[in-house]
Structure 1
Amino acid sequence: MRRSRHSMTYALLAYAGAGFLLGLLFAYPGWGLAAGVGIWACLQIRQYNLLMTWLQREDQSEPPESRGAWGELLDELARHQKHAQTREQQLKSVIARFQQSTAALDDAIIIVDSHNSLEWWNSTANTLLGLQPGDRGKPLLNLIRDPRFVRYYRKSNYQEPLQLLSPVNPDIHLQYQISRFGEGDRVLVARDITRLVKLEQTRQDFVANASHELRTPLTVIRGYLETFLDQELPRPLQRALSQMQQQAKRMESLVADLLLLSRLESTQQISDEHPIRIRSLIEQIALDARDLSAERGHQFHLDIDTEYDLVGQELELQSAFSNLVFNAVRYTPGPGEIEISWKVDIRGGHFSVRDNGIGIDPAHIPRLTERFYRVDESRSSASGGTGLGLAIVKHVLMRHGAQLTIESRSGKGSTFSCHFPPDMLRRLEQQDSVTA
């Protein structure tokens, strides 16, 4: 480009010099100089017009022939144009391959821009979510209006996937997963998990049916055992029957927990929400915990925020909270201390149970909510637990959009906390006005 600028300068000087010399011959050097510069300017304008005409074409034609600086400029622009065309073809090829590969996927993939509007999606999204070509640029939440999806999308916490029915086909179960990328953009993946749901439903039905069928024989066995124990029997036989009755009660508790867990697993969300007097609920659980403690002498401390209550299913939350409190009683030697608290902050509501009992090794914490997982088999059996309590707590909280956190160390006690999102809370004043 420096060479081109020098060439144009030399050309200008040549035209100006020639015009000046011709002007001297006719005794008008000034007019000659002006004429030379004018001719040079007309030639530059002509070259400029040729350049602009070529640039405005879209037929990828060769640049016009020219000499000197303009020729060098046109050659340089032609090289850049060919490079840009090659790069454009490569990018188009990559985009075409990406679209072909995503179209072959069974998962719906949607790209949402920073304004929550649809930017791109594959063909599977048309089938699973009912998107149409004219939906481009429309807000995503105007097309998927399920309140549970709206809540999931807006909370911006996408660690756990969301399971919902397809908005266009109620027989299809979808699992939504959202990831962030770029500057506020999101990619939404909707996966058809209908087959997995049906397999899980089959397993749940088997467990529920088996548990239901066990209730009748267990009731008969317990009835006969109670009848026999009411009579005068030899001590060895009475001791054996007492142990049989104790194990029958434990089996009944296990069956009841299995039935409850199967019912909780049948749906991922609660069907309806009702205001719950959280203070009354906690106080009643504390009374039951004192009865369970009996003569062990546990000290209970309650710390309850009286400004906010919860909304949800009261029986399910009572089952979850009581499981945590009763576990603290079982695994805290007397006279231990148990603190039950309900606090609210900007992150939501928090129900916590803290004890100074035997504690749990941190290595076991990730598996505590698994069915029948026991830290110590002999210790758990002696406590009378079924091994399903924390699994029930986990599923109840999932249905209420809440999370369970566990902090514990061996010999240092444990803290089990249930964290509820702000939209599950209600101020007492608002609740009272709605009730009135």
Structure 2
Amino acid sequence: MQNTQHAMFVSLCLSALAGAAAGLLFGLPAWGAVLGLLGWGYYQIRQFHKLQAWLQANDDSAPPEADGHWGELLDELARTQKTDRSREQSLQAIIRRFQQSSAALQDAIVIVDRNNNLEWWNRSADKLLGLRAVSDRGKPVMNLLRDPRFIRYFRKGQYSEPLELPSPVNSDLHLQYQITVFGEGDRLLVARDITRLVRLEQTRQDFVANASHELRTPLTVIRGYVETFLDQDLPRPLARAMGQMQAQARRMESLVNDLLLLSRLESSNHIADEHQIQLRPMLEQIHQDARALTQTQEKNQVINLQLDSDLDLAGQELELHSAFSNLVFNAVRYTPAQGKITLRWWTDTHGGHFSVTDDGIGIDSIHIPRLTERFYRVDESRSSSSGGTGLGLAIVKHVLVRHGARLSIDSQPGQGSTFSCHFPPEMLIGTSGTRPAEAADAQCHQARLD
């Protein structure tokens, strides 16, 4: 740039000197210098117009011919333009390749901007999610994917676990949603067709359910005959054998019932409909049943109930009753005599919480990650003697998943255990039927409008 400026200044001076020299021939050197400067200016204007016309053409044509500093400038601009065009073509090739590869994917890929508006998606999103390139671009994603479960998942902002839902355009298709945050608040939404996996899992669940159902009839017959024989005056060894048969038949019936319940819970990760559950009477009933169980087992345990909140939950009452009672009855079974068990329900800014705390022998940390697996037992002999089926915590886990909740376990050997169920704020309901989380969202939205 400095060389160009220097060359222009030199050419300006030479033009003025040449005009002055020519003016001396006529005795008018000043006018000659002025005419030389005017000629120099006219030449510069012509060269500038040539440059402007070439730049406006914006094609691959060669730059106009020019001498001196204008020629150097045009050659430098031509080289820069060629480099930029090459770089642009390379970037366009990368974009085209990305679009072609994303279009070939079977998974739906959607980019959502920081304002939750649709920015871009591939062809599979049209088929799986029903998006339309012409009319849906720039619209809020929650206006097009309106399932309340997806809206809760999207707003929560915790995407470590995927979400499984039917396709909004075809209920026979099952999709798995996975969201990744990138950039400055943008989100990458991937929807995968898992219909085949869901059907395979359904086949397995149907097999377990059918087998469990078929076992009910022979078990009922066996237990009926055993009870009939026990009503008779049998010899002591035979009566003892019949009593053991009766206990094992009852245990098998309990196992079959738990298998049927677990199979039904596994059929879906979400409850079909939600109802307001009055927690106070339900927990008071579970408390009474637990006290009756400890008296039956002659353990004389102290069982306390603390209700620190009047808020209720939205969900399925029978499922939550089963989950809560499983935790409480496990505490009764596995806590030694004279032990203390505390049931507590409370709420805070993070949602609703139900915990069962005992002062029993505790659980080693190596067992905690596997406690919710089917038939997993910390101590086989102790669990068998308690009459458990090994499915209680698996049932608890699936019930909580269906309600958008999670189970946490805090236990140390010799210091007791605490099993806690944590429900998100959107599952809480007031006594009047209003949801505090929705009311807070509405107030924040109104505040933004104001």
Q: Does 1:331 align with 2:302?
A: no
Query: Following the alignment from structure 2 to structure 1, what is the Cα–Cα distance between the partners of residues 258 and 191?
Result: 33
- Quick one: distance in 2 between partners of 1:158 and 1:86? 40
Using the TM superposition, give the Cα deviation of residue 24 of structure 1 relative to its aligned residue in structure 2, in angstroms: 6.1
Displacement after TM superposition at 1:424 (Å): 0.8
Cα distance in 2 between the residues matched to 1:94 and 1:236: 84
2:401 corresponds to 1:398? yes
Name the CA distance, whole Å, in 2 between partners of 1:45 and 1:14.
Answer: 18
- The residue number in structure 2 matching 1:6 is 6
The question of whether the paired residues in 1 share the 8 Å contact of 2:340 and 2:359 is answered with yes
Cα distance in 1 between the residues matched to 2:344 and 2:33: 97
> Aligned equivalents of 1:30 and 1:300: distance in 2?
115
**Residues 1:21 and 1:409: Cα distance change in structure 2 (over 3 Å):** farther
Q: Is the contact between residue 279 and residue 306 of structure 1 (CA under 8 Å) also seen in structure 2?
A: no
RMSD: 2.0
2:235 corresponding residue in structure 1:
234
Deviation at 1:274, TM superposition (A): 1.2
Aligned to 1:152: 153
1:427 lines up with 2:450 in the alignment: no
Displacement of 1:430 in angstroms is: 4.3
Q: Does structure 1 residue 222 correspond to structure 2 residue 237?
A: no
Residue by residue, what CA displacement relative to the aligned partner does 1:253-306 show, whole Å, maximum 9, x if unpaired?
101101111111122221211111112211211111112222323222322233
Contact preservation (8 Å) 1:273, 1:312: yes
Offset at 1:247?
Answer: 0.9
- Unpaired stretches in structure 1, ≥5 consecutive residues: none
TM-score between both structures, scaled by the size of structure 2: 0.91
Q: CA deviation at 1:429?
A: 3.9
What is aligned with 1:141?
142
Corresponding residue of 1:362: 365
- 1:287 maps to 288
SS of structure 1 residue aligned to 2:110: strand
What SS does the aligned partner of 1:62 have? coil
Give the deviation of 1:33 after TM superposition.
4.4
**How much identity, in percent, do the aligned residues show?**
67
Pairing 1:211–2:212 present: yes
Q: Secondary structure at the match of 2:168?
A: coil
Q: CA deviation at 1:27?
A: 6.1
Residue 98 in 1 paired to residue 98 in 2?
yes
- Is the alpha carbon distance of 1:344 and 1:42 closer, same or farther for their aligned partners in structure 2, counting shifts above 3 Å? farther
Q: Give the C-alpha shift of residue 409 in structure 1.
A: 2.1
Matches of 2:77 and 2:342, distance apart in 1: 78
What is the rounded CA distance, in whole Å, between the counterparts of 1:76 and 1:95 in structure 2?
29
> Does the 8 Å contact 1:4/1:68 carry over to 2?
no
Match of 2:411 among 383, 390, 408: 408
Give distance in 2, aligned partners of 1:41 and 1:331. 102
Asked if structure 2 preserves the Cα contact closer than 8 Å seen for 1:275 and 1:431, the reply is no
State the Cα deviation string for residues 339-383 of structure 1 (Å, max 9, x = none): 221111112111112222222222222222111112222222122
Q: Which residue of 2 aligns with 1:76?
A: 76
Q: Report the TM-score when normalising by structure 1.
A: 0.93
1:28: Cα distance to partner? Answer: 5.5
Aligned residue type for 1:65 = E
SS of 2:367's equivalent in the other structure is helix
> Whole-Å Cα distance in 2 between the matches of residues 347 and 31 of structure 1?
89
- C-alpha distance in structure 1 between counterparts of 2:395 and 2:102, whole Å: 39
SS, match of residue 362 in structure 1: coil
- Structure 2 residue aligned with 1:55: 55
Query: In structure 1, what is the Cα distance between the partners aligned to 2:389 and 2:241?
Result: 22
Question: Which among 371, 384, 390 is matched to residue 381 of structure 1?
Answer: 384
- Work out whether residues 355 and 421 of structure 2, in 8 Å CA contact, stay in contact via their aligned partners in 1: yes
